[in-house]
Amino acid sequence: MEDFQKILKTKVFEIEKIIGAYLPKEEGFQRKVLEAMNYSVLAGGKRLRPMLMQETYRLFGGRGKEIEPFMAALEMIHTYSLVHDDLPAMDNDDYRRGRKTTHVVYGEAFAILAGDALLNFAFETALKAFPIQTEEPERLRVEQLLGIAKAMEVLAVKAGIYGMIGGQTADIEAEGSNSITTEQLLFIHENKTAALIQAAMMIGAILAGAGVGEVQRIEKCAYNIGIAFQIQDDILDVIGNQEELGKPIGSDEKNHKQTYVTLNGLEESKEQVQKLSEEAVQIIDSFGGDSMFLKELILSLIHRNK
């Protein structure tokens, strides 16, 4: 476990170097939006999505550099969604990870623009995986270009109205209603949380040359991780240690928020987390190869106690 933490730290450091290399230089008449973008991305975080992408890429034998723009792009999309979620018209949060949120520092107009800019720049960055500037187009293969196009498509779909934005919409709608079904709740978790984890792992697999069936199993694996992560969140709200968690326990019940636990009970929720995570690990194992770190990473996410 100590080893895992050490490796994790090294990997986060490496990933932050990759992301940093793709951030814009703060210069020109548009400098302010560039500053707000970089402030938002460099606010820290677990860099979980690029890490899952890189690990899945390696699991399928990927050894190239074309994964790097996609790692940076996915983190930009994750970041823009936080910047816009924190806006006064949305969750109205002034702090995130102990740091002032983007609209508090740069004002609302620039937080909206910086979010837009990060989303747009994510696609601009991912497109750098295409060897557009090549001087030897005769050395390119159709298969390789189609792979990058497929990875772009997964990125766009999982971030959009049939992914993260869809889940965010359903979540806002649910907040305004008195009752929610398990179907609705799973839709929200699948799209709001699991979709970007799916994007991460699917893109890693696709760029490493995995086949259609393998990518589908990775999609299922990432679904399980996302849903288990969310249910664990709800479980911790009921049984967690307030000090470790950093937020008052039982807050969901007090806020009359319906969760997987309030709908299905604590025992079934725990069983569900166990089942989902076992299945996720089984899928990873089925591909063979060295996946020790990836599996530890997945389990640490799901079975966390804070």
Q: Does 152 bind a copy of itself (CB under 8 A)?
A: yes
CB of 267 to a copy of itself, least distance (A): 27
Stretch that binds a copy of itself, among 42-50, 119-127, 251-259, 264-272 (CB under 8 A): 119-127
Positive or negative, the Cα torsion across 298, 291, 167, 126?
positive
Q: CA dist 119 to 53, 189, 291, Å?
A: 18, 21, 31
Question: In whole angstroms, how close is the CB of 109 to a copy of itself at the nearest point?
Answer: 5
Q: Should residue 116 be labelled a site residue for a copy of itself when binding is judged by CB under 8 A? A: yes
CA dihedral (102, 103, 107, 110) in degrees, to 10, reads: 70
- Nearer CB in complex with a copy of itself: 135/243: 135
Instruction: Check binding of 109 to a copy of itself (CB under 8 A).
Output: yes
Member of 157, 245, 249, 263 binding a copy of itself (CB under 8 A)? 157
Q: Decide whether 190 or 233 has the Cβ nearer to a copy of itself.
A: 190
Using CB under 8 A, which of 1, 135, 137, 179 touches a copy of itself?
137
In this complex, which beta carbon is closest to a copy of itself, that of residue 27 or of residue 290?
Answer: 27
Q: What is the dihedral of CA 222, 201, 7, 78, to 10 degrees?
A: -90
For the chain, give percent helix, strand, coil, nearest 5: 75, 0, 25
| Residue 252 engages a copy of itself in binding (rule: CB under 8 A) | no
CB-count burial class (<10 Å; 0-12, 13-18, 19+) for 28: exposed
Q: Could you tell me which stretch among 138-146, 218-226, 249-257, 292-300 binds a copy of itself (CB under 8 A)?
A: 138-146
Return the residue matching tokens 């899952």: 52
- 292 near a copy of itself, judged by CB under 8 A: no
* Best CA proximity match to 55, nearest among 222, 211, 191: 222
